[in-house]
A and B are shown apart, each in its own frame.
Chain A
Amino acid sequence: MKLTIERAALLKSLGHVQSVVERRNTIPILSNVLIEAGSGAAKLTATDMDLTIVEEVGCQVAEAGATTAPAHTLYDIVRKLPDGAQVELDVQGDQGQMRLKSGRSTFQLATLPKEDFPATQANDLPQAFSLQGKELRELIDRTRFAISTEETRYYLNGIYVHATSGEADSDGGTKHLRGVATDGHRLARFEMPLPDGADGMPGVIVPRKTVNELRKLIDETDGGIEIALSETKVRFTFDSTVLTSKLIDGTFPDYERVIPSGNDKMMEVDRKAFASAVDRVSTISTEKSRAVKLSLADNTLTLSATSPENGSATEELEISYQGENIEIGFNSRYLLDIAERLSGDGAQFSLSDSASPTIVQDAGDTSALYVLMPMRV
């Protein structure tokens, strides 16, 4: 195998694929990137066995062939090469070495045979639909902060993506594609009109690592993203990249049960003013609890925090509220997370009592919905 490639193009693709490779690997081949040189392009593949990325990058191929080389080392070398450099990758015979040459630098890298690289098969993905880059970004951005990191609840370690049947939806009969994430303290749900081809799709849990990698990769994707999935795998195809991931093998809890339906105390507040006030007041709350108390009275919201070490803080906000007086405590971190993920000017809170879950949404936009568990203050 022998090919020549521009440093910038190689760096970009390696940057994408090396990110999937785990830093510490017990299986040596998983530290490597598979490089396959075909006609006028090279295919780079990296995997951690759950998540596989394939990226194609244009180059001059003098001799077709394939090998595998250490992904992080290769990436670090290319990163340190000067701008505009040409990189030559060369494998001669089967001596287990790849030569990398650029300008006056030469590296010899240990390789492993391409046959050892695990093949991932994902041929049978019956359900296929497409989303715009912007849509998929929003689905992720609005929900992923609530993904649980608790390994014991592995079925919460991802975003649950599924299609609604339309009957129970708020706008009566329109079917939606939904992303849901929760860690037991808060729940995030985002929905958009169901794209063609997604009807009847199985509900799938996309793992956190896949979500994070995908989000990085599509940061600048303008065009469409092809999504194909089965009950066990999902594949995203966009630009010159294909990302294939296993799905979490578990049952996402019946989250609808968690969303309260009888919350009748409605409060509307300016989103940005609210976020800044929470941020200020929470300076006082203890590192451990981060508790902030919300006291609602006629059109006035008082935020307060106390800590035995730091003292206390209060701030008043003008709100729209006519219900009976209520006091409720929340983790300020969670309030800020949600305030950041809303997009409109006003945030609408639906409350029941100080011990029951509260709903937060954009005023006048139901696409994103957040449920937040209160804490004792």
Chain B
Amino acid sequence: MTERSEPARRPTALCRDCLVLFDGKPADGRCPHCQSPRVVGHPELASLSVAHLDCDAFYASVEKRDRPELADRPVIVGGGRRGVVAACCYVARIYGVRSAMPMFKALERCPDATVIKPDMARYRVEGHRIREMMEASTPLVEPISIDEAFLDLSGTEALHQGPPARTLAALVRRIEREVGVTASIGLSYNKFLAKIASELDKPRGFAVVGEAEALDFLSEQPVGAISGVGDRLQTALSRDGITLIRHLRRYEETELMARYGAMGRRLYAFAWGRDPRPVAPNEPAKSISGETTFDDDVDDPAELLRRLWPQCERVARRLKAADLAGQSVTLKLKTRDFKIITRAHKLSDPTNMADRLYRTAEPMLRRACDGRKFRLIGIGAGDLTAGVFADPPDLLDPDRGRRKQVESAIDAVRQRLGDHAITKGRGFKPGR
């Protein structure tokens, strides 16, 4: 590449379409090679290596890809009659629809929207393809959700024969071409800034925040832009006169810690553009859980148990897939007025059997049922340990070994023939 033959100068601009690097953003803003207007220029472009990659309106984008007739129509992906917006395309956003907005509100603002029920399995497949592409760019990928991750590309210049910025541009171009969805990149020198940057130029964006400008850039950003600052903390901060990130700089670290606890320490570091957290790939899971929101509130224990069973199966399947076992079982319920109730039980030994998760949750659920109506039920396995310790033989329960074999047999059949090929009596729905 011609650019590399001039080692004295590092390139400061990049064409996101033809991936050519050059020095200095042209006056007309167009790539000198392909005339594309999608040129990103920044003095530190070649030296920054921490990125946040976030797919644009991911669920909606996958739906639009598969139904081209919806391309220019507002699309909302969200749960049934009630529930919330899981994703909305950028057309829907023009009408004021936002994700996490209650469905009825979204439809008030945009009655013409095409509403699609989420098909998580399909999104997950695409998410995995994207994850694999990210991992081909760098081993340091820290997934945040199925369509979002931090990437650290330090030391990959030789491998990809170019600076991280170019590798990232190539990555999103590949995601667009092969998966058919767009993504936005935030590039900086730490996770906190990369995350803020990826929001700046959405959709199909590429934003860079360098070390030289970080403090000025942060000054005018609202504190809400900091990940981890939710509504409550934001309210508390604004009560103390802190609405912009620069307001945080009035205080010493110890003062912020005294006021906001451990978060205060992070706020202090962030305010000065620092974030010591490394990009940590595959942080081992602390717990594995599954939950479901109902179409109609449920108060009947028997019905709740019926809804619980598939979640137990799901958690057990994920535990087995990861060769893990959990020793604590947590039951989660959400009341109709959004109060979250959890009940936990520690087992005498770890399990990864759906049957044992269910049997442990059942008495907790029966006790929690006091006539209140619930909108959500979930179960989690925590206190994770290696799968070999799961469900040891029991003096008094010679059947445990048998149940374990039954469950393995069911797993094996499902592996070959699909999830609905065989089911336990308690999960059976006539006519499915």
Binding site for B on A (CB under 8 A): 148-153, 156, 182-187, 253, 255, 258, 288-289, 355, 357, 371, 373, 375-376
Contacts and interface: CB of A to CB of B under 8 A. Distances in A.
22 contacts: A148-B348, A149-B348, A151-B345, A151-B363, A152-B359, A152-B360, A152-B362, A153-B396, A183-B348, A184-B348, A184-B394, A184-B395, A184-B396, A185-B348, A185-B349, A186-B395, A253-B396, A258-B395, A258-B396, A355-B393, A373-B392, A373-B395
B386 interface: yes
Contacts of A375: 392
Interface in B336-374: 345-350, 359-360, 362-363
A198 to B, nearest CB: 26
Q: How large is the interface on B (under 10, 10 to 19, 20 to 34, 35 or more residues)?
A: 20 to 34
Contacts of B359: 152
B386 A373 contact: no
B389 interface: yes
A375 B386 CA distance: 14
A373 B385 contact: no
B388 interface: yes
Contacts of B392: 185, 373, 375-376
Nearest to A187: B395
B240 interface: no
Interface of B: 345-350, 359-360, 362-363, 385-386, 388-389, 392-397
Contacts of A289: 385, 389
Nearest to B394: A184
B386 A371 contact: no
B363 A288 contact: no
Q: Which of A184, A253, A289 has the most CB of B within 10 A?
A: A184
Contacts of B397: 184
Contact of A150 (B347, B385, B386): B347
A345 B29 CA distance: 90
Given A148-B348, A184-B348, A185-B348, A371 B389 contact: no
Contacts of B396: 153, 156, 182, 184, 253, 255, 258
Q: Which of B349, B388, B389, B395 has the most CB of A within 10 A?
A: B395
A212 B93 CA distance: 63
B395 A150 contact: no
Contact of A152 (B350, B363, B393): B363
Given A182-B395, A184-B348, A185-B394, 18 more contacts: A148-B348, A149-B348, A151-B363, A152-B362, A156-B396, A183-B348, A184-B395, A185-B348, A185-B349, A253-B396, A258-B395, A258-B396, A288-B350, A289-B389, A371-B395, A373-B392, A376-B388, A376-B392
Nearest to B359: A152
A233 B420 CA distance: 49
Contacts of A182: 395-396
Given A151-B363, A152-B359, A152-B360, A357 B348 contact: no
B309 to A, nearest CB: 16
A173 to B, nearest CB: 28
B202 to A, nearest CB: 43
Given A148-B348, A150-B348, A288 B393 contact: no
Nearest to A184: B394
Contacts of B347: 150
B403 to A, nearest CB: 13
Nearest to A259: B395
Contacts of A152: 359-360, 362-363
Contacts of A288: 350, 385-386, 389
A365 B392 CA distance: 31
Contacts of A156: 396
Nearest to B383: A288
Q: Nearest 6 A-B pairs (CB), nearest first?
A: A184-B394, A288-B385, A258-B395, A253-B396, A184-B396, A184-B395
A231 to B, nearest CB: 22
Contacts of A258: 395-396
A13 to B, nearest CB: 33
Nearest to A252: B396
Contacts of B385: 288-289
A153 to B, nearest CB: 8
A355 B392 CA distance: 11
Contacts of A184: 348, 394-397
A120 B396 CA distance: 34
Given A152-B359, A152-B363, A289-B389, A185 B395 contact: yes
Contacts of A148: 348
A253 B360 CA distance: 19
A153 B399 CA distance: 14
A149 B346 CA distance: 9
Given A151-B345, A288-B385, A357 B363 contact: no
Contacts of B362: 152
A375 B388 CA distance: 10
B179 to A, nearest CB: 38
Contacts of A255: 396
Contacts of B386: 288
B432 to A, nearest CB: 29
Nearest to A183: B348
Q: Which of B347, B362, B385, B392 has the most CB of A within 10 A?
A: B392
Contacts of A253: 396
A148 B350 CA distance: 15
Contacts of A151: 345, 363
Contacts of A373: 392-395
A255 B397 CA distance: 11
Nearest to A375: B392
Contacts of A376: 388, 392
Contacts of A150: 347-348
Contacts of A149: 346, 348
Contacts of B394: 184-185, 373
Q: Which of B346, B359, B389 has the most CB of A within 10 A?
A: B389
A186 B350 CA distance: 16
A357 B345 contact: no
A183 B392 CA distance: 12
